[in-house]
Amino acid sequence: MGAGGRMTEKEREKQELLGRTGAGAVFQRSPTDKPPFTLGQIKMAIPPHCFQRSLVKSSSYLVHDLVIVAALLYAALVWIPALPSMLQLGAWPLYWVAQGCVMFGVWVIAHECGHHAFSDYPLLDDVVGLVLHSWLLVPYFSWKHSHRRHHSNTGSLERDEVFVPRPKEALPWYTPYIHDNPVVRVVLIVVQLTLGWYMYLSLNTWGRPYPRFACHFDPYSPIYNDRERAQIFISDIGVLAVSFAMLKLVSTFGFWWMMRVYGVPLMIVNAWLVLVTYLHHTHPALPHYDSTEWDWLRGALATMDRDYGIILNRVFHNITDTHILHHLFSNIPHYHAMEATKAIKPILGEYYQIDRTPLAKATWREAKECLYIEREDSKGIFWYSNKF
């Protein structure tokens, strides 16, 4: 059936029935047959210049973001404290949200360094990525290596690295009694957005199961091999150096000063990171595969583009609405991603998935609908469900 792929009659019959969410929306499940196109054919559809990295252009985006960060910081240090107390109550939240969003844009550029999409110079990419991610208290090389494995194994139940769904039998015994409780759902979402990033880095929460304790800060963690251990030490040194500088500022200006100026915006950065990753890989329309069915291309296509609105899409350098492309060709710089995505849509057909559901509504729906995975037939293809 051309680029749309082939679906079984059973799947066709269930498209509409299983595609209706509690909010009344309709989605189509992603095709699960092996695509009738190859990665090479997808690449040929993309204009060649989209694969070209420009140090000048990449740096211009980084400088643009850092200038805004500096301007907002100046406002927080000079303008906001000079406002009347009542106006400060409104100004600080505006600063936190704006600074957190722009800093997440910086995070996206640092993430591109890890994919060697910043420049043609791998060492320079690593230096820039190390500095930027350390500033955001992220262990750069640790994240780079585990994130690369995520890209290599997306959609695999055995080898994917993050937001690996669990089967029904692996859920806690009390799940059927609380899963429809809105208060519990709110609490879980809040915990995930506030603590989730460091829970993943430190405890491998929501990560791939390993035979022993896995931690991104541990050079001898089972996540890494012997060739990578020295770089994990370097990542830890970077985070520790920034942490030490923060402690010096705390001793000089106080804890709450540091939280107002840096801590709360960083929490917003981490919340965006968790939410963006979660929504890209969690959706009732997306399949997961066991080892009998998984292959790289189908796994890379088992992700969802999201539309956060023109402002946030731009501030986040379109990591939101070009994520499928990013999984197919992670070395394409963000400033070519929209053009490349437009070029591959006709090739992907039904294999291209985008959800324009408003952000809060999508978060609530996915937290409610995507509790566990189950197979529907003897094949190793699994879908999200919430039925008990």
Note every long-range contact of 190-195, with CB atoms under 8 Å and residues 24 or more positions apart, other chains counting. Answer: 192/274, 192/278, 193/270, 193/271, 193/274, 193/275, 194/267, 194/270, 194/271
**Can you give the pLDDT at residue 24?**
41
Q: What is the DSSP letter of 318?
A: T
Q: How far apart are CA 186 and CA 192, in angstroms?
A: 10
Mean pLDDT by 10 residues, the chain (388 residues): 42 41 61 96 98 98 98 97 94 98 98 98 98 98 97 96 92 88 94 96 93 96 96 98 97 97 98 97 96 96 96 97 98 98 97 95 96 90 94
Strand partners, 355: 306
Whole-structure pTM value: 0.92
Query: In the block, which residue shows the tokens 């956060």?
Result: 308
Q: Say if strands 381-385 and 288-289 run parallel, antiparallel, or are unpaired.
A: antiparallel
Helices assigned H by DSSP within the chain? 9-18, 39-45, 55-74, 80-82, 85-114, 122-135, 140-152, 175-178, 182-203, 229-253, 255-258, 264-281, 296-301, 310-315, 323-328, 337-348, 359-369
Amino acid making up residue 3: A
